[in-house]
Structure 1
Amino acid sequence: MRDLPGAVKVLAALAVVAVALPLVALAARAPWSDIGRLGASGPRTALFVSIEVSLAAAALSLVFGVPTALVLARARFPGRSIVRSLALLPLVLPPVVAGVGLLAAFGRRGVLGRGLAAIGIRLPFTTAGAILASAFVATPLLILTVEAGVRALDRRKEDAAETLGASRWYVLRRVTLPALAPQIVAGLVVAWARALGEFGATITFAGNIRGRTQTLPLAVFEAMQTDPGAAILMSLMLVALSLVALVALRGRFLAR
């Protein structure tokens, strides 16, 4: 392969610097002598809520995102492009608008909220609401990742299994999904990271209630107004969580 032009390399270097500089600045400005404050009840509780919400949201993304990706990549039906646009809309939708939409749908006076309240289910300003908001914005990332994998999949093994009499469900479970495992795991990690960092939809739909809906991003926002040092330390905690996930997957499910 011919070497790339120098201008391309310079632009790539500038992009890397632009991404790395804020992270380096966080580390440089962090009050490392006060790192023990991360063990206080506030940051610790926000961390536990973040882990609970992000993992549950990633699980929801997996349950609903993989079938959606398979349908969008394989099925042919009228209006498929419209359905695909709707499924991916949260990618470009402002998070606050997503939160308002969730309130309109599941709020106390929402389209479905009244019916859910009648059977004792309440989503706004609850941990379940935070999970729903995070899953809403994270699922399209998993859909995109898995859909690309489905489109690139070699269908000869699936065709061979069907020729030998395997049912569609058997082919899906034993051939298609195992072949898509790298894309599914990669999409799951990206969805989890997006859910971990979600702010706008969560604070709009679930609020900022300590111990229930206050995730680390919300705790960082609150701390920035009263304790910037603690906000920086919690931000670095989020960076560390994201890096751990990427390093753990590097070379196994993600391209080097």
Structure 2
Amino acid sequence: MEELFWSPVKLSFSIALFAGVFVLFIGVVLAKLMSVKRFKGKIIIETILMLPLVLPPTVVGFFLIVIFGRNSPIGSAIELIVGQSLMFTWWAAFIASTVVAFPLMYQTAKTGFLSVDKDVEEAARVDGATTIQVFCFVSIPLAIKSITAGFVLSFARALGEFGATLMFAGMIPGKTLTLPTAIYVAIDSGNMGLAWTWVLLTVAISFLMLLCTYLIRE
């Protein structure tokens, strides 16, 4: 019974942590680039990057199946290389969580970079700092509150991902049965006591995550 309870929790935390760290690095780099670059089609690219935030999770799951499914070129290549389909694996759950969590990290980090005083960055360049040095030692420290808040929000979003994960990764116990899908299974099987326990745990975690974002920005 204890393993039944904790297995989805541990799985969800591992997926959310890996997804959160991944979108942290990718989101910060893209946010900085998009905050300073001006080019044709920028608004289209940014709209595409933010789409998972507003699309229904089932639509996100559908696109993931189309892109990474067995009948797709990418999915077929992955299956040929690793010997199995990407669908209904831990990696499928990771990809689904990453896709839905990315917009929060990207937008929050971009807001932080836009608030950085450009004169401070320019002063660092005048003193001989390279673009990468300015990014690592000036821009990121000055935007660290927004970046940290973005990581917390994206972690919480990845932890609560349900629709895309259900479609793309399924709900295999011990493999892809995350906390949100476990709640769905518990309710469907009439185990309301277990469902309530998982729900209260999820609410408590989400509350703490949101509280952290407010404290960080104080």
Given the alignment of the two structures, is residue 163 of structure 1 paired with residue 126 of structure 2, yes or no?
yes
The residue type paired with residue 77 of structure 1 is: F
Is the Cα contact below 8 Å between 2:90 and 2:175 reproduced in 1? yes
**Residue in 2 aligned with 1:134?**
97
The residue type paired with residue 245 of structure 1 is: M
1:133: Cα distance to partner? 0.2
1:59: Cα distance to partner? 1.1
**Residue in 2 aligned with 1:218?**
181
**Residue in 2 aligned with 1:86?**
48
Is the Cα contact below 8 Å between 2:115 and 2:143 reproduced in 1? no
* Equivalent in 2, 19, 24 of residue 57 of structure 1: 19
Instruction: Tell me the SS of whatever aligns to 1:119.
Output: helix
Given the alignment of the two structures, is residue 114 of structure 1 paired with residue 68 of structure 2, yes or no?
no
CA RMSD of aligned residues (A): 1.4
Instruction: Tell me the SS of whatever aligns to 1:112.
Output: helix
Is the Cα contact below 8 Å between 1:69 and 1:146 reproduced in 2? yes
Is the Cα contact below 8 Å between 1:53 and 1:130 reproduced in 2? yes
CA 1:92–1:247: 2 relative to 1, 3 Å: closer
Structure 1: any 5+ residue segments left out of the alignment? 1-38
Given the alignment of the two structures, is residue 42 of structure 1 paired with residue 30 of structure 2, yes or no?
no
1:245: Cα distance to partner? 3.1
Is the Cα contact below 8 Å between 1:50 and 1:216 reproduced in 2? yes
Q: Deviations over 1:110-158 (max 9, x none)?
A: 2311111121164211111101100100100111111111112111111
Is the Cα contact below 8 Å between 1:104 and 1:111 reproduced in 2? no
Is the Cα contact below 8 Å between 2:153 and 2:213 reproduced in 1? no
**Residue in 1 aligned with 2:148?**
185
* Equivalent in 39, 64, 89 of residue 77 of structure 1: 39
Name the TM-score, length of structure 1 as normaliser: 0.81
1:220: Cα distance to partner? 0.4
Is the Cα contact below 8 Å between 1:43 and 1:219 reproduced in 2? no
1:78: Cα distance to partner? 1.3
- Aligned-partner Cα distance in 2 for 1:119–1:222: 33
The residue type paired with residue 136 of structure 2 is: R
Q: Deviations over 1:61-92 (max 9, x none)?
A: 11211112112211111110010000001011
- Aligned-partner Cα distance in 2 for 1:70–1:99: 28
The residue type paired with residue 77 of structure 2 is: G
Is the Cα contact below 8 Å between 1:57 and 1:132 reproduced in 2? yes
1:250: Cα distance to partner? 4.7
- Aligned-partner Cα distance in 1 for 2:209–2:40: 39
- Aligned-partner Cα distance in 1 for 2:31–2:133: 18
- Aligned-partner Cα distance in 1 for 2:137–2:161: 34
The residue type paired with residue 235 of structure 1 is: V
* Equivalent in 53, 57, 71 of residue 95 of structure 1: 57
1:249: Cα distance to partner? 5.3
1:244: Cα distance to partner? 3.0
* Equivalent in 171, 190, 197 of residue 233 of structure 1: 197
Which structure's CA Rg is the greater one? Answer: 1
Is the Cα contact below 8 Å between 1:43 and 1:216 reproduced in 2? no
The residue type paired with residue 242 of structure 1 is: S
